[in-house]
Structure 1
């Protein structure tokens, strides 16, 4: 297998049906060698059978040892890592006043510290080559935080802020940092959100909002949500540019949310309260 000319791309959160899985396919279609990772290889079974394109690895972004081992394995096998995509993430739906702090911690551990763990593991390698790209997957919800998904939005807000700082700090080392901000993209995130939501306690102060809170888990998965393949193709094309954009946003609601960001707060609150039935 000739891999010298191929860019080596490491992606987290590549389980079937997710954005990471679609990104893996899009990078592979552009002649990249894709290191697809997830907490279990079985969750990426649909990527099996293409050994010349995908290198499947188990990776738990919550574990220093797991992250370090995968980074070492990839460098040993291919000699380099050209692009890292921090896509692994979890939803967390519920009212902030009652959501268990353990759930808050898990969301931040995955969405924020998980990304930083991989970044710190791979930056020394990229810096030694004076070359590399780090891509962090954020969310348009950051542009207009609304009810019932405050934990998820806060964790993505933190990731956005870290990405902005990393872009400036890593540029002198030859590393590009790109913030990818999906709108509503069709994926399995709604099912995952509901699966975790079933473990939440019964709300006391917000019992009458139970239906609205559950609906929030599926809000990004409406009939007009952007197809994951379309999102992935557009995103990968932007990332692989010689001079990639520092910010790339695509998908349903991406334009509307960009406008929302600049609206007066009372207008923004009115729109979000109505949309989220608060």
Structure 2
């Protein structure tokens, strides 16, 4: 396989129907060699028909050993990793006062520590080459946190902060760090959020808000959500620039959330209570 003129891209969370899967397709369309990863290879079946483009690997971002093995496998096959996209993540819906701490821990372990595991595994390789790009997938919800998704939002806010610090720390080594901040993008995240929500205990204090809480799981999947293919194509175009942006946001609500970030707190609170706290 000729790899000299092709970028080698590692993408996490590439299960069919998700943003990572769309990103993998888009990188491949730009003549990249894509190391597509997910917890099971069978979940990436739509990528399996072109072995000259896709290198499928099982990856559990919760496992240090799994992360190290996958990074080693990719470098062993292609000789390098040019771009890493930390996309793997989980939703977590529920009121903070009642949500099980085990769910909080799992969300942070996946969305924050999972990204850090891969970053720490790949940075020594990129430093040795004095080049590379690390891309972290955040969320516009971190700009204006609202009710019922506090755990997920907090995990993404933490990832935003880590990304900003990492960009400064890795710049002297020729490594670009890019924060991708999706708004509402059509994907399977609504279904996975509901599946996760259905495993939650019955709310006691917040029983009367149950319908509003469950509705939050689908909030990002409204009729105006951007298609995952459009999101992926524009995002990959930004990532592949010689001098990529430090921050790239796209999708429904990306503008309004940026505006809400600068609003007085009492205005934000009023809007959220009106829209998302119906009992």
Is the pair's TM-score, using the shorter chain for normalization, greater than 0.5?
A: yes
Partner of 2:277: 277
Q: Aligned-pair distance for 1:277? A: 2.4
Partner of 1:30: 30
CA distance in 2, matches of 1:40, 1:235: 25
Partner of 1:123: 123
Q: Aligned-pair distance for 1:2? A: 1.5
Q: Aligned-pair distance for 1:151? A: 0.1
The secondary structure found in structure 1 opposite 2:225 is: coil
- Within-5 A mapping of 1:170-249: 170-249=170-249
For residues 51-87 of structure 1, what are the alpha-carbon distances to aligned partners after superposition, in whole Å with 9 as ceiling and x for unaligned?
Answer: 1111000000000000000000000110000000000
CA distance in 2, matches of 1:250, 1:272: 22
CA distance in 1, matches of 2:275, 2:230: 26
Partner of 1:63: 63
Runs of 4+ in 1 over 3 A off after TM superposition: none
The secondary structure found in structure 1 opposite 2:6 is: coil
Unaligned ranges ≥5, structure 2: none
Q: Aligned-pair distance for 1:271? A: 1.1
For residues 176-235 of structure 1, what are the alpha-carbon distances to aligned partners after superposition, in whole Å with 9 as ceiling and x for unaligned?
Answer: 000000000000000000111111000000000000000000000001100000000000
CA distance in 2, matches of 1:195, 1:119: 29
Q: TM-score, normalised by structure 2?
A: 0.99
CA distance in 2, matches of 1:176, 1:16: 28
The secondary structure found in structure 2 opposite 1:91 is: coil
For residues 125-177 of structure 1, what are the alpha-carbon distances to aligned partners after superposition, in whole Å with 9 as ceiling and x for unaligned?
Answer: 00000000000000000011000000000000000000000000000111000
CA distance in 1, matches of 2:276, 2:128: 48
Q: Aligned-pair distance for 1:273? A: 1.6
The Cα RMSD (Å) is 0.6
For residues 70-113 of structure 1, what are the alpha-carbon distances to aligned partners after superposition, in whole Å with 9 as ceiling and x for unaligned?
Answer: 00000011000000000000000000000000000000000000
CA distance in 2, matches of 1:49, 1:90: 27
Q: Aligned-pair distance for 1:272? A: 1.5
The aligned length equals 278
CA distance in 1, matches of 2:245, 2:174: 15
Partner of 2:101: 101
The secondary structure found in structure 2 opposite 1:267 is: helix
CA distance in 1, matches of 2:120, 2:101: 26
CA distance in 2, matches of 1:65, 1:175: 24
Residue 111, structure 1, aligned to residue 111, structure 2:
yes
CA distance in 1, matches of 2:273, 2:46: 40
Q: Aligned-pair distance for 1:40? A: 0.2
Unaligned ranges ≥5, structure 1: none
For residues 246-267 of structure 1, what are the alpha-carbon distances to aligned partners after superposition, in whole Å with 9 as ceiling and x for unaligned?
Answer: 0000001101110110001111
CA distance in 1, matches of 2:130, 2:3: 20
